A and B are shown apart, each in its own frame.
Chain A
Amino acid sequence: MHKIGKQTICFDNPPSILEAASIVGPKEADGPMASYFDKCLEDEFWGEKSWEKAESKIIKETVNLVVAKSNLATSDIDYVFAGDLLNQCISSDFGLRESNIPYFGVFGACSTFTESMCIGSVFVEANGAKNVICATSSHFCSAEKQFRFPLELGTQRPPTAQWTVTGSGAVILSQTGQGPYITNITPGKIVDMGVKDANNMGAAMAPAALDTLITHFQDTGRKPSYYDAIITGDLGHVGKEILAEMAQSKGYNINSNYNDCGVLMFDKEKQDTHAGGSGCACIATVFSGYFFKQLKDKKMKRILLIATGALMNSTSMQQGESIPGIAHAISIEI
């Protein structure tokens, strides 16, 4: 492993993504990606008493599922890197407390999925671990409750608002395996362009995604056309358009191979999800469900995965702070 350029790490022995698993909620199961997920829930509680317990169960079961799919034993997993949106990452903490795997709680808001994959891949490449799990979760109801309003409050969502994805995605990174491989990672900087509107997260995160995207191209010397797909996490319809336009103005045309998991997750017109999906689980489930299979089946050969996060909480919003964004990129190739 060696560093190239400003902030990219290039792996000499690229870790393989051994297996991926995803579980989603009922609304996601109605969306266009439904057939790709491993399991679709019929209700948001999944037999639990609170939204928080339900989210913990989702990440717990997703981790169990990815281990089962990989044919490894739990004891073969050296570390787990997991995170979510709830305060102090309680979904991951509680969901994985009985897993008996050494655990790192990771927080990067909705960028957590690639953040944990960045850290996990470094562990694996540095021979600190043979197999690690990277997992994230989010839940529409627990996120609404923590960040916005009670579900029964009769409010209107503005057209720029996004819909937190209910679900969880998990991957196993391994020293062995036939790929796809994580070849480069470009951890991102915190970028704040002064957006204060909590109902327009895509716009708050797009500048961070742009910064990471351009840095990745500069560091690696690659062009946008190198990738079959460039995928952001949850910029949604608004953020996606902003990113594409700003990238073009900087001389990087990504229009033909760029998409966003928040855009892919829901049918905007039928599902009334306004600007699209968001949340840690958005990119985690769409990658684990869809893109991982595309890579496995060799329908895609190189993708750049950029999860984006909005680093705010209700206190910072009430104090009138703007919303800093962050984005971490990983390039996955076969």
Chain B
Amino acid sequence: MEFIQSIDWLQLLRCFITGGTICIIGQILLDKTKLTSARILVIFVTTGAILGGLGIYQYLIDFAGAGATVPLTGFGANLAKGAIESVKEIGLLGAFIGGVKASAGGIAAAIFFGYIASLLAKPKIKKQ
């Protein structure tokens, strides 16, 4: 219960609004262009990596927390951030190690859970 008291509600509101707004950008792309969802995800991750590389995305993370890191732009920014940090530590080779290392948890989890799901679940039709 101490945890609930410690929640920064204003921070949560910023997170909600920022995350929601990033999704609105995606929704406009979905509805107004003929882009498939795969292409939109690629656009978001690439944009995130570029903004992350330029250091701009960090401002958004400082402002919105998970509202900036949970959307796929955050995944891209995290890749770029990891690459840059690793380059600072070990030089050029870090460009190849840092990005994936920083995002390894998410990638590995998605693959593992995908595999587990395929063992347990059966395809079903959308009921609507």
Residues of chain A at the chain B interface (Cβ within 8 Å): 27, 44, 51, 140-141, 149-153, 155-156, 158, 196-197, 199, 272
Q: Which residues does chain B contribute within 8 Å of A150, judged by CB atoms? A: 123
User: Nearest-CB distance from B80 to chain A (Å)?
Assistant: 27
Assembled-state Cα–Cα distance A27/B124 (Å) = 13
Q: A140 and B125: CB pair below 8 A?
A: yes
Q: A151 and B34: CB pair below 8 A?
A: no
Q: Which residues does chain B contribute within 8 Å of A272, judged by CB atoms? A: 128
Q: Which residues does chain B contribute within 8 Å of A156, judged by CB atoms? A: 30
Residues of chain B at the chain A interface (Cβ within 8 Å): 30-31, 34, 37, 121, 123-126, 128
User: Nearest-CB distance from A320 to chain B (Å)?
Assistant: 11
Known contacts being A155-B37, A156-B30, A197-B34, is A141 close to B125, with CB within 8 Å?
A: yes
Q: Which residues does chain A contribute within 8 Å of B37, judged by CB atoms? A: 149, 153, 155
Q: B124 and A151: CB pair below 8 A?
A: yes
Q: Which residues does chain B contribute within 8 Å of A141, judged by CB atoms? A: 123, 125
Give the most central of B31, B37, B124, B125: most A CB within 10 Å: B125
Q: Which residues does chain B contribute within 8 Å of A140, judged by CB atoms? A: 125
User: Nearest-CB distance from A171 to chain B (Å)?
Assistant: 28
Q: Which residue of B lies closest to A141 (CB)?
A: B125
Which of A151, A158, A197 interacts with B123 by CB under 8 Å? A151
User: Nearest-CB distance from B20 to chain A (Å)?
Assistant: 17
Give the most central of B30, B31, B34, B126: most A CB within 10 Å: B126
User: Nearest-CB distance from B110 to chain A (Å)?
Assistant: 14
6 A–B contacts from the bound complex (CB under 8 Å): A44-B125, A149-B37, A151-B126, A152-B121, A197-B34, A199-B34
Assembled-state Cα–Cα distance A151/B127 (Å) = 11
Q: Which residue of A lies closest to B123 (CB)?
A: A151
Q: Which residues does chain B contribute within 8 Å of A197, judged by CB atoms? A: 34
Q: Which residues does chain A contribute within 8 Å of B124, judged by CB atoms? A: 151-152
Q: Which residue of B lies closest to A198 (CB)?
A: B34
User: Nearest-CB distance from A203 to chain B (Å)?
Assistant: 13
Q: B30 and A152: CB pair below 8 A?
A: no
Q: Which residues does chain A contribute within 8 Å of B128, judged by CB atoms? A: 272
Q: Which residue of A lies closest to B127 (CB)?
A: A27
Q: Which residue of B lies closest to A271 (CB)?
A: B128
Q: A152 and B123: CB pair below 8 A?
A: yes
